[in-house]
Copies of this chain bind each other. A is one copy, B any other.
């Protein structure tokens, strides 16, 4: 539903080829809206066909040949229209939480290893976000950058939350294991 708009936004920030977009979806925009290169190419095709973007003219258009896209006025209008519509915020969908709930009925085998693994991942991500913030947004400047910084700060806040929660969870799970009757290992 939103992939086309993610692409339009990315292309407005900077006209790009499919592969360049893919790279940018591995950073930046991809931090809150991920997409694979096949999704991106498919969507570029649709957007071009719909007259929302166009390929910049190149000498020899061919299959393995790089193709750059830019947003047409219709595309910008569509994005503006989408952005001013109401959006439903869809509920949480988190496998780790589901897993905890499952652990409550089938045992906590390997649970703390998993929690530790996730903790490491979120700590790393948090560090990376913080590096980006102090590198790119040291001095809050124009309105555009202030909005982008706001988005980044959401990422930082979320990762901060997960780190804190995972630490709490590890302590709790450890404590459950300790206090369990007879010291039976969790299972």
Contacts and interface: CB of A to CB of B under 8 A. Distances in A.
A103 B32 contact: no
Given A92-B31, A155-B92, A83 B97 contact: no
Interface stretch (A36-44, A51-59, A157-165): A157-165
A161 B172 contact: no
Chief secondary structure at chain A's binding surface: helix
B87 A96 contact: yes
A90 B155 CA distance: 14
Contacts of A118: 89
Contact of A5 (B86, B92, B98): B98
Given A91-B30, A158-B92, A102 B82 contact: yes
Nearest to A155: B92
Interface of A: 1-2, 5-6, 8-9, 12-13, 29-34, 76, 79-80, 82-84, 86-111, 114, 117-118, 121, 143-148, 150-151, 153-155, 157-158, 160-161, 164-165, 168-169, 172-173, 176, 180, 186
